[in-house]
Chains A and B, each alone.
Chain A
Amino acid sequence: MSGVEYLSPGSVAEAVRALQVDGARVMAGGTDLLVQMRIGRTKPKLVVDLKRIPGIAGIREEDGAFIIGAAASGAALGEHEALRKAWPGIVEAANLIGSTQIQGRASLGGNLCNASPAADSVPALIAAGATCVIVGPNGEREVPVEAIQVGPGKTTLANGEVLLAFRLPKRAAHTGDAYLRLIPRTEMDIAVVGAGVCVTLDASGKCIAARVSVGAVAPTALLVEAAGAALVGSSLDDAALTNLEAAVAAAARPISDKRGTAEYRTKVAAVLARRAALIARDRAQKDGAKA
């Protein structure tokens, strides 16, 4: 790690300027970046630490919508009562990352921009329909989360662009989300498969909207539109869930590696998607009961 410079800008403009330098890298919590630097996988010349930029590590609620700073830690998300209530799936996904120590640092922005196919919070964010607020030398833009990752370690962020925040729309009534992952152990492990589901019911309990996203079964987290469509119009009965499973299995195109075989991942992706859908439905029903 010789010859690395460190900068901790106090404004977005300063950060964007600093990132024009060749070999500059953004750092939020550093729980991916520092590990990669240590093993020599990446050798930045300049590390630009975002955490001093006002608001980037915070969480705001605006008329029922949430703006989550890209560098907000997993611990901060877990402690945010309102967010936890509104989007339990996102918070439980974020809180699965690492251990207590890692939770104090790890951010949603880092989880997404590190672009691991197995990143836990990404399927949950995609299922919830979150968008990304991005600034760069050419100004600001906003895109859905699923538009960021393009492959392992690769994103659509241009040189000098910084992810500032995630925006979660005001949640529709009777909506619930959930995230589940399979790891052989109980913690400190990387998802063999992950599945995030968000469903919205009508007053009668019929599903009127659903988004399903699975992780670790393709080069990026996948938004499986056919799986969501399989639920819409149903009360998440067995037939609908069978269709959801079939859609997930059809969309999955995993590799076989040390963490699991392709066959196993495909099977379990379908299982987890079904289980997450049922949890999301229960939450949506409870949401209705309270409303």
Chain B
Amino acid sequence: MSDGNQPPASLKVVGTRPIRPDGVDKVTGRAQFGADFHLPGMLTGRIKRSPHAHARIVKIDISAAEKRPGVKAVVTGADLDVGAGGDIEAGEHAAAMKDVAANCLASGKVFYQGHAVAAVAATSPEIAAEALDLIEVTYEVLPHVVDVDEAMAPGAPVLHDDMFTKGVTPKPTKASNVAQKHVMGRGDVAGAFAAAEVVVEGRYTTAAVHQGYIEPHACVAAWGADGQSTIWCSSQGQFLVRAMTARILNLPLSDIKVIPAEIGGGFGGKTTVYLEPVALALSRKCGRPVKLVMSREEVFLASGPTSGSSMDIRLAATKDGKITAAEMTLRYQAGAFAGSPVNLGCMTAFACYDVENLALVGYDVVSNRPKVAAYRAPGAPMAAFAVESAIDDLARKLKMDPIDLRILNAVKDGAKTVYGATVRYSAFIETLEAVKAHPHYKAKLGPGQARGVAAGFWFNIGGESSAAVHVDEDGGATVVSSNPDIGGSRASMAMMAAETLGLPIERVRCTVADTTSIGFSGSTGGSRVTFATGMAVVEAAQKVVADLRRRAAQTWECDIAHVEWKDGVATCLDPSKDAKPLSLKALAGKSAKTGGPIAAEVSLNAQGAAAGYGVHVCDLEIDPETGRTTILRYTAAQDVGRAIHPAYVEGQLQGGAAQGVGWALNEEYVYNSNGLLDNASFLDYRMPVASDLPMIDTILVEAKPNPRHPYGAKGVGEVPIVPPLAAVANAISAIVGQRMTSLPLSPAKVLAAMGGG
């Protein structure tokens, strides 16, 4: 459902809802995902993983495995060569390549259960499994720590003896698990608290949660006899896989070609490598193609998740509800290596609100868990859980409507964020007003039911992208995209090209190219593809249109200024010529005679991505005897700029809300006292199933199309996972009668809080 804003009448394709071209293959199982590739002579790879949460590797003996007939290669960390290491920009974060390499195959120490220590390639899965048992690893088991607060406590087992907290001066003399301290703020916080008429405060915790993509990581790597290698894999960025694999194996980029497979979900979790360098190292050793596919258990043990967190927050306000100051400390789990998104948590925490005095401190903390990976709006949902809960406390304390309170404090264009950016093209207030006017917000609640409201923010990014548009001889067009299609981007790329060229959408196809067939692009992440790659598509299509006009002018022997391009047809405006209009089809058919093939490729660094704001409303009830929550009604509203394909934008809102509800209610990593994961399966890691949720209603707020994009697009994929944690928790807190501060709000926890447990 849209809020009724119609796209400008001049737009014929943008804003419509054609069926996505990749849809049928995906739902019928014909699509080729990462594990679907087979090559002649291909070997099965398997990874040997640590059974311990934390241990020193004393010795790895691979001799027996190597001697087993059918085993063609065995590799360990010693087969990787990351050289000087360095960072690689991976979209929303920079990846430290030494750590990425040590995460692919451990060197010296294992930091979590499931940490890869060796890999084999064999002629059958059975032999590969046997070979794993034949690899003998001698460990010296070390004390472990999985909780973020315990990892920061004095005396905690220290994971990395060379980790001296960055961001504190003077540099600490003792190694600790705190990789970095981030400090941000402005104004006179202490003064504002001293003068505050109302103060609310709380301590909040969230559990580590996994992205939960359907498709486990998978790849095939083939080392070429001439040193040129090919990798087929499912990832969020073929160029990122190429860059990381090249760095980890110390190879030139042009020696690796990465062919993107169809991808079965990523949500940020596929913006790094786990398998590709290992598969290629195996293939290099034996000269045969090697396939590596993770099991679901391996996915849970050794990929993703995002950080669990612990946070303290304090708000100062006037009795009219104006927030005058906020103080917050955020402690995020990074997993085994540095790099939690805690800095993004600090930056986004108050990005929705105009707060004069702010003090934020973030700690990036390692512990014996898998290294975190990006997950939709990395770092923002946890911070928003604390902030939006505290604002809910404030609304209750002041007996104010939660939306009115937010409108009173909402950022407006021109405001400065705590991280220095100026707010532009924002429609947060319009989004809040759209929710207030929606029938859901006015609907009466039944007995025992409650309603929660929460907001959320995400930056959205632009960056480097490439795209090409080819006009076919029969008058159709092909768009070549540089980004794997996760959320329906083939459809939106084709739509923007069709709009620009003046073709019906049925005449435009979009393909996703490998690393040798299109210019460089950043990954599918940061909600950037429709914005940045879309911009490249439109510019390429505009170049094609310019070329078509030139060819028409040439045909008519008129000045190009007299050629108008509209709805896919060139018209001659020179009154002295009696020229019949030329359609794209007519021009395409004659291309050989007017200068050859018609095509254009554009590479750019897109600037001007506009931030997005979301507001969610959740109605729910709780079984007072079991503590079980049932979500009754859910509406997600979002400032989306302009929706290129509204149905897929709605899908993003619904998907983000569903994942956020799971985060709020049941998802968590359960560790036993040995630091081993107790629930590495979809049975006991409880993501919501379809029947857990009502149909999620959506409101697309198109009040402020992004002027920096040819069709007004903003990123939309990440904002919707930010508000749900607090939207759910605020409603549950209302029923329980006390602030619920610790996620997930599983039945046992809720029953205990209600006094029943």
A positions within 8 Å CB-CB of B: 2, 39, 182, 184-190, 192, 257-261, 263-264, 267-268, 271
Contacts and interface: CB of A to CB of B under 8 A. Distances in A.
A14 to B, nearest CB: 29
Contact of A184 (B666, B670, B752): B666
A259 B686 CA distance: 10
A189 B626 CA distance: 16
A271 B625 contact: yes
Interface stretch (B111-119, B430-438, B648-656, B743-751): B743-751
B224 interface: no
B684 A188 contact: no
Nearest to A256: B748
B751 A264 contact: yes
B10 interface: no
A139 to B, nearest CB: 39
A260 B749 CA distance: 10
19 contacts: A182-B628, A184-B686, A184-B747, A185-B688, A185-B692, A186-B692, A187-B689, A187-B691, A188-B682, A258-B678, A258-B679, A258-B684, A260-B748, A261-B748, A264-B751, A264-B752, A264-B757, A267-B751, A268-B751
B226 interface: no
B167 interface: no
B628 A263 contact: no
B689 A185 contact: yes
Contacts of A189: 683, 686
A278 to B, nearest CB: 13
Interface in B677-735: 678-679, 682-684, 686, 688-689, 691-692
- Which of A190, A192, A264 is the most central at the interface, judged by chain B CB atoms within 10 Å of its CB? A264
Contact of A182 (B626, B678, B689): B626
A184 B746 CA distance: 7
A188 B690 CA distance: 10
Contacts of B757: 263-264, 267
* Ranked 4 nearest A-B pairs via Cβ: A2-B126, A264-B748, A186-B691, A271-B625
Nearest to A38: B295
B665 interface: yes
B51 interface: no
Interface string B295-335: 00100000000000000000000000000000000000000
Nearest to A184: B666
B756 interface: yes
Contacts of A261: 748
B297 to A, nearest CB: 8
B35 to A, nearest CB: 15
A188 B628 CA distance: 16
Interface string B600-632: 000000000000000000000000011110000
Contacts of A188: 682-683, 689
Given A258-B678, A264-B748, A268-B626, A185 B666 contact: yes
A174 B603 CA distance: 78
Contacts of B126: 2
A192 B686 CA distance: 13
A151 B679 CA distance: 22
A213 to B, nearest CB: 19
Nearest to A270: B625
Contacts of B626: 182, 268, 271
Contacts of B670: 258
Contacts of B756: 267
